[in-house]
Structure formats: C-alpha cells, structure tokens
Structure 1
Amino acid sequence: MSPRITDPFEIGGLSVPNRLYRAPLLECAGNGPDAVDTLIRELEPAAEAGAGLLFQGATIVRGEGGCAAPGMTRVHDPEFVSRLGKLTDAIDDHGSRIFVQLEHGGLRSMETWHAGYRAENPDLEQLAVSRPPGLLRMADRLGVLDYDPHVLSIEEVYELAADFGRAAERCVGAGYDGVHIAGANMGIVQQFLSPFYNRRDDEFGGSLTNRVRFLAAIHDEIRERAGDVPLVTKVPAETASPPVVRRHLSEHDAVEICRACEAMGYDAVVPVRGSVFWDMSLVRGEHPERAWADDRFRAGYEAAFGARWRAVALANRIHAAGFEFEPAWNADLCERVREAVSIPVLCEGGIRGPEIGDVLGSAADAVGMGRPFYAEPRLPARVLAGESVVCENCNNCTVPQVAGARGVCRTPSVLAKRGQLAREGAYTN
C-alpha cells in the first residue's frame, strides 16, 4: 500500500511528521540585524500550516564570496548562527523539522555574473574546480561573463569541505534538525561532480568515483564536527544541457552518485534534472514577462547585467519556450534512484497536488514544493487536505531576485485566488 502524504517517515533516525516539505528557496534574509526575524517571517507560516519538513534556502559557508544571488545568508559567524536558535525554536514549537541547506556557488557566484557586485568587490576571488570550460571562456571573451578564477588546490578543496563541516556544527548547535547539501543548481558541489566543469587530474577529478570525493569529504567533515545529524544532498542529472555540451552528467551518472552517497553515509537524496547552466531547465514554466517589464526592478537588472540586461531578458524568453511546465518532472529519475538505494528519496520539481499520490506510490518517500510557497506561504494547510496549489508557474516571483527583491508572488490572478481562499478560511488549521 502506498504511503499517504500525511504519514510520518524517517531521515537518519529523525521522525518527520508527514511527507510534505518546503524545498529550499531564497529567503533574501542576509545577515543584518533583521535577518533572523526575516527568516522566521518566511519560514514559520509553512510550519504553522503543517509542513513536516522545511529546508532553509541555500546558506553560504564562508564569510565572503560564494553567493549565487543577492540576499543570501551566511553561517560562518558563530555569534550570528547562535541567534538562529530563535528560528529553530519557532519551527519546533509547531512540531515541524528544519534543515539548513549549505552552499558555496563557485563559478555561479555573483563575483562572476553580477556586474555591479564585481565592480564593488574587485579583489574577490572566483573559486573554480578547474579552468573554466571553453564555452564559458568564450562568454568571457564576448563580455557576457567575467572570469578570472582561482582554481582550488587539493589542500584548498579539503579546507572548503571543512568549512561545510564547521558551518554544520554551528547550525546543529543552534537547533537545526539536519543538514542539506546544495549538490545541484550549478553550485560548487555540482561543479565537482560534473565533467563539464571538472577537468582536474588529481584525486578529485577524472572518473566519477573521483568526482564524488568532494561530497565524501563534506560528509566526513560534518560527521566529525556535528555527529550523526541527518544529512541530505541534492544530486544532479545534467540531461537538459544543450546539445553543444557533450560532457555532462547522465541520468545513469546521477543514479550512481546516489548509490555512492548512500555508501558514504548520506541519509537521503534529492535527485533533480537540470543543465550545466543556470537556466529555465531548473524552474520550467512560463517566461516571466511581468517581472522583466516591471520598472521597479529595472535599476537592479541594470546593476546585475549592465547595458545588456534587455538581451538577457530576450535570451530568457527564447529559452523558456523550450522548457514548458511539466508536472513532477523529476519523478521518473527519482523512481530509478529509489530502485537503486535504500535511503529515502525526496522528489521536487513540478509537484502541485494531483500527482502526489502517484509520486509517493512509486518515486519518492516525500514530496517538496518550492515556488508555490511564494504564492501561498501557508499552503500545507490545503495540500495536506488533498487540494492543489494556486501557483501558475509563471516565474514572476524569481527573476526580481537578481535585482535583490524578495521572492514573493506578483501575479494578480494568483494573488486573487489566495485572497479568496484566505477569506474562506482555507489556511486555518
């Protein structure tokens, strides 16, 4: 008999009260004096409405560099992390579990793509697994991106893994129930895993066995410093990469990485499809017309992309045409992984309600939603009752984040539906 979304399950011995989780999102909290209150404002409604598990969005393990977008929170400072106990207590009070997602962006960091940030931080190093591949060097020559990377030595690779471990130790001390490694979405971990980025000829490069060693090093550092805390990682399949990219992670590779993660001691995996680039394959859905046309964000777009911001918007429109929304687009990959491992498999990407029963029946032990939480911060109250989300997959919530704006729904038709549901008491437990 297939599990129900309201059934509990376990990750690494930790009991989770149901199988609906909030996938990692950008909370735009930063590290300022209001950061903890911002995180509570962004995360507590999901717990209060019944989400079994919340993944706090990607947080950076170092004090400088590594942010893939404006407003990301860092967890390098013990004093700041200790204040996050106010957040973890708030989530615990509702009976939910909260994991922190740890990340470093590597070549996807703002020091590479954000023109204004580069100008303000000219001495900030871009960390690279190896020399950028030819396609990215061409983008550098054309002025689309700006690469002057520092390739990590073996010693520096181990030191970066230790930073993940130190960050995990601080967060567990602040009351987080577990740790989620940002293994996909083009961050430094994916760059180690991917043959597109990883051209090293040492113990961290070459074969897939070698390329997963950074994940193993992170695991070992976290276990040494934070103990047997439940540990989850995303695992990418780069099957949406354009045909000109010949070296990328296949679905078979993703399954083998998940096998390796189980052998290392990871407690759960989140298999996801995407590209070697930060593009619409990661979110799918409509071109965010309203967001690009909104004059409130124009200065932010210009700061990020310079005079070419309109060309970036056009490229986004063209690319979006090839990645229309597809319900549960990672489900069949998750099903392959689930047949290969005995640890929990978590599925996200296009989960909107009607497909939950099928996904839990064959592909995953829990299902996650991301962007729908921007539209309905208290959506678990409805989804756990068998209803569908109001999100229209228009992506108007995400693009303004490059301009430093919050991730919130800005689509009038969706906001109207949410307002009507609120008036009807749909979000009241």
Structure 2
Amino acid sequence: MDKTLNSPLEIGDLTLPNRLYRAPLLECAGNGPDAAETLVAELEPAAESGVGLIFQGATIVRGEGGCAAPGMTRVHDDEFVAGLSAVADAVHDHGGRIFAQLEHGGLRSMETWHAEYREAHPDLEQLAVSPLPWQLKALDTAGFLAYDPHVLSTDEVYDLAADFGRAAARLVEAGYDGVHIAGANMGIVQQFLSPFYNRRDDEFGGSLRARTRFLEVVHDEIRERAGDVPLVTKVPAETAAPPVIRRHLSLDDGVRIAERAAAVGYDAVVPVQGSVVWDMSIVRGEYPERAWNDDRFAAGYAAAFGSRLRARVVAALNRLQSLQYGFEPAWNADFCRRVRERVDVPVLAEGGIRGRDEMDRLLGDACDAVGVGRPFYAEPRLGARLLDADGERAVCESCNNCAVPQATGAPGVCRTPSVLEARGRLDRAGAYDRDE
C-alpha cells in the first residue's frame, strides 16, 4: 500500500491516525502554576488541526540543573506531572497522540553559557560524561563559556538513567501516550554516544557499542518503571564537526547506533545530523537580523551572554554560522534513508521539511513519518493545510527570528511580518478550518 501523509502508522502498540508529527520545540512553559495551561495553548492547536503525533519539547528529568534554555519544564515532581494530564487530555480530545521528550543538557546546560543564571546558581555544576576535551577547556579559558563539571561515576550514571525511567512513569500515569528520548542536539545522551565527549574507561565508554550503553540502560529503566509504553529516540551523527575536532560520530556511526537502538527495543528512531557543539547545524536558515536588533530583547541578551558587547560578539558568530549552514530542504533525508535500510522499526524524519509534496515523496522512501518544528510557531494549526490538500507548503521562511529570543526566556513565536501577513491571509480564507 502506498504511504501518504494521511496513512496510519504504528509505533509499538500505538496506532497514529496519520504520519505527520509536530517535532519537539521549546514551549517555555516552565514549572509554575500556569505550566499546564501554557502547554495546552502551545500544543492543542496542532492536534486540533489534525496532526497525528505531538512531541512535547525537551522536559528535564531532574529538579535542578540540566536545562539547555530558559523556560524548560522539569518532570521530576509527582504532583506537578499529575497536573499535566490536562495537556494529554487536550490532545486526545482531537484524536491526536502525545509523547514527551526527556532530556538533560549535561555540558550544554544553562550553567555553562547563561551568565545571569550562573551568577544566581554559583554552586551548580554541569554533569559531564568525562573530563573536558581541550577544545572546551580553551573556550572556558578564553571566557566564552564557563565550565565547572562534575564527572559522573558509574553509580551516578545508573542513577541518571533511573531518573529518565521515573520521569517516563510519571508522564504515562498522567496520560501521555509515549516517550521520546532527546538523543541528539548535544544533550547528555549524545555526550555519552560521542567520542568527543566520552572518554570513560568503564562499561559506558570506549567502543561505540559501550558508548551506546547509556541509551540501553535508559530503555531498560523506562520499560521497568513505565511498562511497554511506545519509546522513540533521536540518533545523532556529528557530520558538522569543526576541523579541530577529529573524534566525532560519523554517519556510519549514526547508522550503527540506530541499529542498536532498534535491537534493544526502541520502537522508532529519529536520525539527526548536527555538530558536536551548539551551532546552526540543527536550526539551518537565515541570519535572524530582526531578532538580534529588537530592542525588547537587548537587556535579555546582555544578561544571557554577560554584557551587550558579548551579545554583539555572539550575534556576529551567528551571522557567520548562517553562511555555513543555510537552509537545506529535508537535510536529514539521506541519513534517514540509510537507517531505514537497516532497521525494522519506523524511521521519523525532520529538519527542513516544509511542503506536502515533499512529505509524500519522503514517505516510504526515506522515512515512515515526517516532522515539522519551527513552522508551527508561525502556523499553530498548520496540520489542517498539509493534511487536507496536495501542494500546500508552510509559510515559514526559516529566518530564525523565532528562535534567538528564546535565549532570553521569550516564547517561540513568529516575528517576521511577511510570514505573519501570509498566515493572516490564509486564516481569513478559512485555510485552517477542519471538520473533526
């Protein structure tokens, strides 16, 4: 049978109504009394528009540390997570399914890069897989980043994996349909997988198989504590590693990690190409000039990066990166295709996928489901257009004006007038109306 966007898909024992998913984004909901309400406001429109699977963005498995950006939600507290049942209910009311993405930032946490946060939490250490590579020590010495890492002992690695399992159990109890492990984007899972970060000499370091061990233990902890809940993981390939970094995950390594993840029991994989460091390789597109020049965020940038001068330096580096990592349609497609040839679980593709025709070409070839992320900032009910008509495309221009202000804690919303005008015209024409 031909696979199109409207075909159902099974992940584990769960049947999705179609093959379109909302990729994980930063919802900036935090853990305050309005967190569930904020998440409903962010996620329900996608479900209402017909999107079959909603991935709630990275949620942190511990009560302190580990947040890569302001506003991330923590899922360490039983009472708080129970209140998130309202989020699951809102998605289910429209026939959708919802997974939460579990994360810990490790060396990529705010205690590394956010100056004001470090000042407010002087005793907070980053969790590290191994002692710092010399390249990161150099950045620390030069004052670009600040590292004070605590290298996890073997017992502490098991404790961290158990926190992933406990978080999954809480979310399933609250009504979530599945769990997504943030295995890429330079978080702690990728740091275990990557030879750049992982130079351990215990069971979690050494060969690629040993470096995959943490992902396996996370799987086992979730199965023990949350049962046979559908379980998805991102799989990284560090294809954008800078020249000074010779030890990194190749595309072949990424394929082997995906094979191992499927063999140990993950129900689907999401192959993602990126870098060993935080750069624009995962948010490709234009330089976000409007966002950097917006006076509303100037004080926030200074607080995040240490001063207005440092913020200007970061903006200049961002401009250079935009030249290196311009927008590329479906930039993970080849990686996904290679993985799909080697595994017997669904392969999910995301990264630069914008149009319905492109989605239907990818399905059954490179992947089994397609994800869209930032375009939902511009069109919260984008699913209605993509699912209901051939030839439709997101109005997103991949300008990144939505993403940069999130460093200040601002919500992810579209701030580009031409895109907002296009959305307005479509809204007035009834393009987002859908019969349920």
Q: Deviations over 1:186-208 (max 9, x none)?
A: 00000000001001111101100
The answer for the alignment partner of 1:212 in structure 2 is 212
> Is the aligned partner of 1:360 residue 2:363?
yes
> Is the aligned partner of 1:383 residue 2:378?
no
Alignment of 1:302-341 (within 5 A): 302-307=302-307, 308-341=310-343
The answer for the alignment partner of 2:62 in structure 1 is 62
Structure 2 CA distance, aligned partners of 1:329 and 1:317? 20
> Is the aligned partner of 1:202 residue 2:202?
yes
Q: Deviations over 1:315-373 (max 9, x none)?
A: 01001101110100000100000000000000000000131122103100000000000
The answer for the alignment partner of 1:4 in structure 2 is 4
Q: Deviations over 1:25-58 (max 9, x none)?
A: 0000000011000000000000000000000000
Opposite residue 339 of structure 1, the aligned amino acid is: E
The list of structure 1 runs, each at least 4 consecutive aligned residues, that deviate by more than 3 angstroms after superposition, is none
The answer for the alignment partner of 2:231 in structure 1 is 231
Q: Which runs of 5+ in 2 are unaligned?
A: none
Q: 2:427 aligns with which of 412, 417, 422?
A: 422
> Is the aligned partner of 1:402 residue 2:407?
yes
Opposite residue 411 of structure 1, the aligned amino acid is: T
Q: Percent identity?
A: 72
> Is the aligned partner of 1:344 residue 2:349?
no
Corresponding residue SS for 1:384:
helix
Structure 1 CA distance, aligned partners of 2:416 and 2:433? 23
* Post-superposition offset of 1:78: 0.3
Structure 1 CA distance, aligned partners of 2:22 and 2:12? 18
> Is the aligned partner of 1:193 residue 2:193?
yes
The answer for the alignment partner of 1:281 in structure 2 is 281
Structure 2 CA distance, aligned partners of 1:109 and 1:242? 21
Corresponding residue SS for 2:127:
strand
Aligned residue pairs, count: 429
Corresponding residue SS for 1:281:
coil
Taking only aligned residues, the RMSD between alpha carbons, in angstroms, comes to 0.6
Q: Deviations over 1:192-232 (max 9, x none)?
A: 00001001111101100100000001000000000000000
> Is the aligned partner of 1:413 residue 2:415?
no
Corresponding residue SS for 1:282:
coil
TM-score under structure 1 normalisation? Answer: 0.99
Corresponding residue SS for 2:281:
helix
Structure 2 CA distance, aligned partners of 1:170 and 1:10? 23
Alignment of 1:58-207 (within 5 A): 58-207=58-207
* Post-superposition offset of 1:2: 3.3
Opposite residue 129 of structure 2, the aligned amino acid is: V
Opposite residue 346 of structure 2, the aligned amino acid is: P
Structure 2 CA distance, aligned partners of 1:137 and 1:275? 18
* Post-superposition offset of 1:171: 0.3
Structure 1 CA distance, aligned partners of 2:4 and 2:302? 47
Q: Deviations over 1:276-308 (max 9, x none)?
A: 011110110001010000010011100110121
Opposite residue 344 of structure 2, the aligned amino acid is: S
Structure 2 CA distance, aligned partners of 1:419 and 1:113? 37
* Post-superposition offset of 1:274: 0.3
Structure 2 CA distance, aligned partners of 1:372 and 1:173? 31
> Is the aligned partner of 1:372 residue 2:375?
yes
Structure 1 CA distance, aligned partners of 2:433 and 2:60? 34
Structure 2 CA distance, aligned partners of 1:258 and 1:236? 9
